[in-house]
Amino acid sequence: MNFYIVMQGRTYDEAKEKQVVWCSILDSSGQTPHSWERMREVKKGDAIFHCVKGEIAAISIAQESCHEGMSPFDNGGVIGNLFSAIYEELVFPIMIKEHFDEIQPLLPIKYSPFQQNGDGNQGFLYPCNEMLAIKLLEIISDANIYEEHAEQLEFAIGMIAQKERNTLAPVLIEKEAEAKAKIRRGLQKFKKQLAPLWDNQCALCGITLPALLQASHSKPWKDATDDERLDPHNGILLCSNHDALYEQGYIAFDGTGKIHISPEIERIDYVKYGIHEKMRVARVEENKKYFKWHKREVFRGENNR
């Protein structure tokens, strides 16, 4: 099961009415943009967040895998990619910019649905990693299900009661649980396969206590493909201290395994963090491309500021 974010404008109301998601195959220049081509990835059971004019207005569940089909709209019988979906419209839509501080850290570097100012990117269908999906589901639940004030709760119940059916809460709970389970299973498998590659100890300080060891992704979950997320070479075994430094980009490793320390850490503090400039990890060739990606995209170096 995967998550997606679809950018819909004037076609949203009609698509919701017809309970479908549709996109033309070719644009006006005869090309297929990546965000249109992605429609072909959608499978039955996938969840889609519907973004309309800067707001998450609904969440839907694909009732079938995507296939080619005639446009359900009045635009001359154009062939496109299509799947039926059950829309669950939100009583209280979620304004992306109001929650962007929470959302932004979870956006992928490539194919992000949103710009750095919170505006939506031009395009149609974007991937939504599980961590971002969980955050969106939490925000939606807080606004639409788990109202804190009695007045809001009474109003929310009254609004929801007007709907012919109320299946929003079960959908949110089910999809959040599925996303968390996918991440948990993936991380467990990742650590189990990664740990022996580093002799079950921190690659920098040698700590062996399992409770203090973390399987650190070089290319983070939000940016990695499904295969990269589980590739044991896409990571390194580190203690909790060094894991935090690596994950936040304060340290990195080059293709030779040599450590690089962010200039944001003062030299006088190296001892506090258990690092020094001569450190090196015993990388293998398969680590190289991931280390280089991390150093280029995550590391807080002079050229990455």
Residues 177 and 278 in one domain: no
Mean pLDDT of 44-62: 97
Q: How many domains does the chain have?
A: 2
Question: Per the domain annotation, does 193 fall within a domain?
Answer: no
User: By residue range, what is the domain housing residue 78?
Assistant: 3-183
Q: What is the pLDDT of residues 199-208, one digit of tens each?
A: 999 999 999 9
Q: With 90 as the cut, is the pLDDT of residue 152 above it?
A: no
Residues 55 and 177 in one domain: yes
Q: With 80 as the cut, is the pLDDT of residue 33 above it?
A: yes
Instruction: Provide the pLDDT for residue 150.
Output: 47
Residues 222 and 121 in one domain: no
Q: What is the rounded distance in angstroms from the CA atom of residue 14 to the CA atom of residue 72?
A: 9
Residues 166 and 220 in one domain: no
Q: What is the pLDDT of residues 92-141, one digit of tens each?
A: 999 999 999 999 999 999 999 999 999 999 999 999 999 999 999 999 99
Q: With 60 as the cut, is the pLDDT of residue 161 above it?
A: no
Q: Which residues contact 88 (CB under 8 A, 6 or more apart)?
A: 58, 59, 60, 61, 167, 168, 171
Mean pLDDT of 246-255: 96
What are the tokens at 248? 């936040």
Output the average pLDDT for the chain: 91
The answer to whether the beta carbons of residues 102 and 96 sit under 8 Å apart is no
Instruction: Provide the pLDDT for residue 74.
Output: 73
Question: Per the domain annotation, does 62 fall within a domain?
Answer: yes
Mean pLDDT of 17-29: 91
The answer to whether the beta carbons of residues 48 and 5 sit under 8 Å apart is yes
Write down the pTM of the prediction: 0.87
Residues 96 and 210 in one domain: no
Question: Per the domain annotation, does 192 fall within a domain?
Answer: no
Residues 160 and 222 in one domain: no
Q: With 90 as the cut, is the pLDDT of residue 210 above it?
A: yes
Question: Per the domain annotation, does 194 fall within a domain?
Answer: no
